[in-house]
C-alpha cells in the first residue's frame, strides 16, 4: 500500500504548513478544506473499486454543461426531456465502451420486432389512456421489409 504511506506523509506536511500560516490566509483555508475532506480522500486506499481520481465524473459533468447550453434550443419541455434521456443513454454507453449509435439502432429494431410479434405495433397509447391508430401505414423494420421481398 504505497499510496497510504504517501498520504500519511502528505498529511504531516499539510499540518506543518497549517501551523506556519495565518488562519485567514487563502492557503490556510485550502489546507483546512483538505483536512476536512481527509477521510473521503483516503477511501480509495481501503476500497479497490474507488478510482484514485474523478476524471470520468469530470468529463461527464463537462458534457452535461454543454448539453445544458444546447437545451436552450430543444423547443419544448417534451423535447428537453427526450434530449435528457438520450444524453443519459449515450453517456452510459460511453462509460460501458458501447457504441451509442449501434446500441440505439439495435434497441429500436428489437423494440419494433417485439411489438410486431405481440400485435401491439400499430396502437399508440396516448396520455389520456385512449388508443388511436391501427396497423395501416406502419412500415416494417428494415430487416423484415427486405426479407419479405426476397
- Condensed to tens digits (0 to 9), the pLDDT of residues 85-107 reads 888 888 888 888 899 999 999 98
Confidence band for 130, pLDDT divided at 50, 70 and 90: low
For position 142, what pLDDT does the model report? 45
* Predicted structure pTM score: 0.43
The whole-angstrom separation of Cα 18 and Cα 38 is: 15
Dihedral of CA 98/104/109/113: which sign?
positive
Alpha-carbon Rg for the chain in angstroms:
27
Average pLDDT value for residue range 30-56: 89
Residue 132 per-residue DSSP state: E
- Condensed to tens digits (0 to 9), the pLDDT of residues 48-61 reads 888 888 888 888 78
**pLDDT of 66 higher than 90:** no
For position 128, what pLDDT does the model report? 56
Average pLDDT value for residue range 25-33: 93
- The contacts of residue 47 (CB under 8 Å, 6+ apart) are none
Lowest mean pLDDT among 2-6, 76-80, 97-101: 76-80
Average pLDDT value for residue range 5-13: 93
Amino acid at each position: 500500500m504505497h499510496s497510504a504511506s504517501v498520504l500519511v506523509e502528505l498529511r504531516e506536511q499539510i499540518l506543518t504548513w497549517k501551523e506556519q500560516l495565518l488562519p485567514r490566509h487563502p492557503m490556510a483555508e485550502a489546507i483546512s478544506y483538505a483536512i476536512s475532506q481527509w477521510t473521503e480522500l483516503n477511501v480509495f486506499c481501503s476500497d479497490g473499486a474507488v478510482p484514485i481520481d474523478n476524471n470520468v465524473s469530470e468529463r461527464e459533468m463537462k458534457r452535461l454543461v454543454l448539453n445544458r447550453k444546447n437545451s436552450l434550443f430543444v423547443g419544448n419541455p417534451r423535447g428537453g426531456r427526450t434530449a435528457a434521456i438520450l444524453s443519459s443513454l449515450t453517456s452510459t454507453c460511453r462509460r460501458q465502451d458501447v457504441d451509442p449509435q449501434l446500441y440505439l439502432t439495435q434497441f429500436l429494431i428489437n423494440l419494433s420486432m417485439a411489438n410486431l410479434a405481440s400485435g401491439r405495433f400499430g396502437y399508440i397509447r396516448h396520455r389520456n389512456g385512449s388508443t388511436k391508430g391501427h396497423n395501416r401505414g406502419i412500415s416494417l423494420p428494415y430487416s423484415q421489409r427486405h426479407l419479405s421481398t426476397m
